[in-house]
Structure 1
Amino acid sequence: MESFSTSMDLVQFIGKLGDLKDEHYHLILVQSALIELLIDKGVFSRQELDHKITEVDRLMTGSPYPMA
């Protein structure tokens, strides 16, 4: 790996990736718990959530340029 000047740089980089993985896991865990609580309390249904996820996914994966 030519982009790392020393082996220590590579070790530090790998450590940072591990930290990011742990942080990502905890964020997803909190997000999932909040969604489940909101569904349990009747704020929205699982079907409404699925519909919104599909809608947002379409917006995010579509072309960034409007078609005329």
Structure 2
Amino acid sequence: MNINSIEMVGQIADLKEVDYKNTLAVATLIELLIEKGIITRSEFSQKARELELATEAEITLMRRCKSIEK
């Protein structure tokens, strides 16, 4: 294994750590919003399904429309 391979393995490990921390932060926020009654688990699931099916352009358009409504 050469030095570039070792560096790449280290970078991948760092990314996994960052991904884990980001996932934990998002999961924590979702649980707090549900516990405080701000959203329901059903509402969250529905929005996740909508976003999963939407393209990046559609998501951007949805955000712009919502900011205009406010």
Q: Does 1:50 align with 2:56?
A: no
Secondary structure of the residue aligned to 2:34 is helix
- Aligned equivalents of 1:57 and 1:24: distance in 2? 19
Q: Which has the larger radius of gyration?
A: 1
**Which letter maps to 1:16?**
Q
Which stretches of structure 1, 4 residues or longer, exceed 4 Å deviation after superposition?
A: none
Q: Does 1:16 align with 2:11?
A: yes
Secondary structure of the residue aligned to 1:42 is coil
Instruction: Note the residue ranges of structure 2 that are not aligned, 5 or more in a row.
Output: 56-70
TM-score normalised per structure 1: 0.77
Give the root-mean-square deviation of aligned CA atoms: 1.6
Of Structure 1 and Structure 2, which has the larger fraction of its residues in helix? 2
